[in-house]
C-alpha cells in the first residue's frame, strides 16, 4: 500500500504506487503480484498515468529467504507490469530478476530477463 | 521387579552418617529385605549384602561404603530415571549415549566393583548441558568439511561461489562478489556477498556449510578496516562492481 515501485519493462510506465497485494493480508513480497496505480509514465506508452494495473514484484529491498538457508535482497523495489492472466505487457525486462519467479510460474518474465540473480 | 525395590531401599538409607547409630535396626531390615529379591537375579549382590549384615561394627563406615556401593551399581545398571534421583546428571542429558555405554560396562563394572570393593571405576568425563550445542555443531561442521573443505573466508575477500540450484538443474550458478560480513553461528555460519548486477546492487547471504554450494574460491582480497562493510551500500556502484 502506497509503496512506489520502479517499473522495469518497456510498457510505458515509470513509477507505480501499490494499492493492494493480490494475495495475502500482510502485503506482497518478492515474487508476488500487486495491484498498482500508474503515477508516472512515458508520453507514448502502452499504459497511461492514472491507469490501474497489475504487476509482479521482481526486486525488493526486503530480503527473501530461500529454502536452502540463503537470502537475497536487492537495492531497490521494482515491478514488471502484467495483465490479469500473468503475461507481461512489455517486451523487455531490465535488470536482474530472482529465481523465485520460476516457482510462481512467471516463466515469460524469466525468459525476457538478462540476468537471473 | 528387583529394580522397583531398589529405589525405595535407597531412600530409606540415611544420607548423613550421624543418623546411622539411631537407625541401625532399620538399616539391617532394609538389607535383609533387599537380599531376598536379589537372590534370584544377581547372586553376587546378595552374597556381599549378607556379609555386610553380619558385620556392622562401625555403622558410619558401613553406611558410607554401602551407599557408595549402591550408588555406583545404580548408575551403572539401572535406567536413567533411577540414576537421576542420585544426581547422576550424565544419564539425564545424554540418555542414548550413557545407556549404551552403561549397559556395555554394567557387566564389566559389576565384577570390578565386587572384586575390589574399595577401588572406584575410572570416571567418564561428564558432558555438561551447556556444551551440547557446541559438540553438535562441531560434529556437523566436521561432517560437512569431509564432503567439501571450506577455505578461510574473511570480510573483504572477493569470492566466487558455485551453487547448485534445484530449479536450475542443468548448470551451476556462479555468484561473484565481495564478502561484506561473516556471521559465525556453528553450522549456520553465513557470509554476505555484494555485487552490482546489471546496474542494481544485490546482496546474497550464503550458509558456508550448505551442501548446495559446490565450490568456494577466493579470487582477490581488498584491504578493509572493518568487519562489516555496510558502508558500501551508500557508496558509488563502482566500488561493488566485479567483472
pLDDT given at position A89? 93
Asked if the model's pLDDT at residue B58 lies above 80, the reply is no
Beta bridge partners of B213: B163
The pLDDT value recorded for residue B87 is 42
Greater model confidence, B40 or B159: B159
Residues of A in contact with B233 (CB under 8 A): 75
Q: Taking CB atoms and an 8 Å limit, are A115 and B201 in contact across chains?
A: no
Across the interface, of B198, B205, B210, the residue whose CB is closest to A71 is B205
Minimum-distance CB partner of A96 among B165, B202, B207? B202
Q: How many angstroms separate the CA atoms of B32 and B69, rounded? A: 16
Quick one: cell of B211? Answer: 551442501
B165: pLDDT confidence band, cut at 50, 70 and 90?
confident
Q: Is B188 near chain A, with CB under 8 Å?
A: yes
- The share of chain A scoring above pLDDT 70, in percent, equals 100
Q: Look at residue B98 in the predicted model and tell me its pLDDT.
A: 45
What mean pLDDT is predicted for residues B14-31? 47
pLDDT of residue B64: 54
The pLDDT tens digits for A78-95 are 999 999 998 999 999 999
Higher pLDDT, A71 or B65: A71
> ipTM score here?
0.90
Q: Which residue has the cell 535407597?
A: B10
- Mark A38-72 as b/e (b = at least 16 C-beta within 10 Å): beebeeebbbebeeebbbbbbbbeebbebeeebbb
Closest CA to A97 of A15, A30, A13: A30
Quick check: B212 and B164 in contact, CB under 8 A?
yes
Task: Compute the mean pLDDT over every residue in chain B, rounded to the nearest whole number.
Answer: 70
Share of chain B above pLDDT 90, in %: 38
Nearest one of A97, A35, A9 to B198, comparing CA atoms: A97
Q: Is the pLDDT of residue B5 over 90?
A: no
Higher pLDDT, residue A56 or A1: A56
Among B168, B203, B210, select the one facing A73 at the smallest CB separation: B203
**Which grid coordinates are listed for B81?**
530415571
**List of chain A residues whose C-beta atoms are within 8 Å of the C-beta of residue B200:** 59, 74-76, 78, 95-96
In this structure, are residues A18 and A5 in contact, taking their beta carbons and an 8 Å threshold? yes
Mean pLDDT of the region B7-29: 48
Give B65's pLDDT tier (boundaries 50, 70, 90): low
pLDDT value at residue A91 = 93
Look at residue B42 and tell me whether its pLDDT is greater than 80.
no
pLDDT at B3 over 60: no
Q: What is the mean pLDDT of residues A22-26?
A: 89
* Cβ partners under 8 Å of residue B43, min gap 6: none
> Span B165-190, mean pLDDT?
88
Report how far residue B207's alpha carbon sits from residue B185's, in angstroms, rounded to the nearest whole number. 10
CA distance B67 to B49: 12
- Asked if B51 reaches chain A (Cβ–Cβ under 8 Å), the answer is no
Task: Enumerate residues 6+ apart whose C-beta is below 8 A from B38.
Answer: B2, B45, B46, B49
- Confidence band (pLDDT; 50, 70, 90) for B166? confident
Model confidence at B125: pLDDT above 50: yes
pLDDT of residue A64: 93
- Closest C-alpha to A47, from A57, A37, A58: A37
**Whose grid coordinates read 560396562?**
B105
- Mind telling me how many Å the CA of A95 is from chain B's nearest CA? 5
Q: Are B152 and B215 in contact (CB under 8 A)?
A: no
Cβ-Cβ contacts under 8 Å, A114 against chain B: 198
The set of cell numbers assigned to A116 is 537471473
Distance from CA of A114 to the nearest CA of B (A): 8
**Alpha helix positions (H), chain B:** 2-12, 24-41, 43-54, 59-77, 80-85, 89-93, 95-115, 132-147
B136-161, pLDDT tens digit by residue? 999 999 999 998 899 999 999 999 99
Interface touch B207/A72, C-beta < 8 Å: no
Which residue of A57, A70, A78 to mutate against B (max B Cβ within 10 Å)?
A70
Q: Looking at per-residue confidence, does B114 or B135 come out higher? A: B135
Contact A103 B167 (CB under 8 A): yes
Of A68, A95, A99, the CB nearest to B200: A95
- Which of B168, B197, B233 is the closest to A96 by Cβ? B197
Does the pTM surpass 0.95? The reply is: no
Q: Work out the percent of chain B whose per-residue pLDDT is above 70.
A: 51
pLDDT over 70 (residue B100)? no
**Beta strand pairing status for A33-41 and A115-116?**
unpaired
Amino acid at each position: 500500500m502506497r509503496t512506489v515501485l520502479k517499473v522495469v519493462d518497456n510498457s510505458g510506465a515509470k513509477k507505480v504506487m501499490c494499492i493492494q497485494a493480490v494475495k495475502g493480508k500482510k502485503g506482497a513480497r518478492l515474487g508476488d503480484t500487486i495491484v498498482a496505480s500508474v503515477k508516472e509514465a512515458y508520453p507514448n506508452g502502452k499504459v497511461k498515468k492514472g491507469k490501474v494495473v497489475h504487476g509482479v514484484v521482481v526486486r525488493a529491498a526486503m530480503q527473501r529467504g530461500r529454502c536452502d538457508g540463503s537470502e537475497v535482497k536487492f537495492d531497490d523495489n521494482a515491478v514488471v507490469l502484467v495483465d490479469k492472466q500473468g503475461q507481461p505487457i512489455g517486451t523487455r525486462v531490465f535488470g536482474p530478476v530472482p529465481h523465485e519467479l520460476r516457482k510462481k510460474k512467471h516463466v515469460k518474465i524469466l525468459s525476457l530477463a538478462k540476468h537471473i540473480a | 521387579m528387583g529394580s522397583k525395590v531398589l529405589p525405595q531401599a535407597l531412600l530409606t538409607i540415611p544420607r548423613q552418617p550421624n543418623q546411622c547409630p539411631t537407625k541401625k535396626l532399620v538399616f539391617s531390615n532394609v538389607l535383609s529385605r533387599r537380599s531376598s529379591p536379589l537372590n534370584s537375579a544377581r547372586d553376587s549382590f546378595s552374597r556381599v549384602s549378607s556379609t555386610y549384615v553380619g558385620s556392622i561394627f562401625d555403622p558410619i563406615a558401613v553406611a558410607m561404603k554401602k551407599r557408595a556401593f549402591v550408588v555406583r551399581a545404580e548408575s551403572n545398571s539401572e535406567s536413567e530415571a533411577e540414576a537421576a534421583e542420585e544426581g547422576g546428571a550424565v544419564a539425564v542429558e545424554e540418555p542414548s549415549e550413557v545407556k549404551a555405554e552403561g549397559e556395555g560396562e554394567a557387566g564389566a563394572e559389576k565384577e570390578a566393583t565386587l572384586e575390589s570393593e574399595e577401588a572406584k571405576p575410572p570416571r567418564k568425563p561428564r558432558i555438561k548441558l551447556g556444551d551440547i550445542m557446541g559438540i553438535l555443531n562441531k560434529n556437523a561442521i566436521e561432517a560437512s568439511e569431509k564432503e567439501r573443505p571450506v577455505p578461510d573466508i574473511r570480510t573483504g575477500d572477493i569470492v566466487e561461489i558455485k551453487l547448485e540450484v534445484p530449479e536450475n538443474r542443468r548448470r551451476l550458478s556462479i555468484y561473484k562478489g565481495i564478502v561484506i560480513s561473516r556471521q559465525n553461528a556453528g553450522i549456520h555460519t553465513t557470509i554476505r556477498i555484494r555485487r552490482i548486477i546489471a546496474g542494481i546492487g544485490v546482496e546474497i547471504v550464503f550458509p558456508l556449510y550448505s551442501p548446495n554450494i559446490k565450490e568456494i574460491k577466493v579470487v582477490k582480497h581488498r584491504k578493509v578496516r572493518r568487519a562489516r562493510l555496510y558502508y558500501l551500500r551508500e557508496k558509488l556502484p563502482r566500488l561493488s562492481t566485479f567483472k
